[in-house]
Amino acid sequence: MDPKQLHEQLQRLQTEVDTLSANDENRAKLHALIDDIDRELGTSPQFVLEDTSLQDRVDELVSSFEAEHPTTAGILKDIMVKLASIGV
């Protein structure tokens, strides 16, 4: 898995979040998730994420966004797959 692809997906998610009509709480959760994943990716040259709760958080957000924001949910699913491919 190319780490650049994951960073690109995070950037795509950031752009999508900025245009969402979601409530502030959900938007804040997405921003926090993006920041946490990005921070973890930046601290390890092997891109091994230490925070195992990230996968759970992504999964929870996918569930909450699927009905009203399918594009966002799709991006989150792609990120979840990429995280799984690096061992999270």
Q: Where are the domains of the chain?
A: 3-85
CB atoms within 10 A of CB 46: 8
Sequence-distant (≥ 6) Cβ neighbours of residue 40 within 8 angstroms? 49, 50, 51, 54
Q: What is the pLDDT along the chain (88 residues), one digit of tens a residue?
A: 566 788 888 888 888 888 877 777 888 888 888 888 887 776 544 444 455 577 788 888 888 888 888 888 888 888 888 877 776 6
Q: Is the pTM of this model over 0.75?
A: no
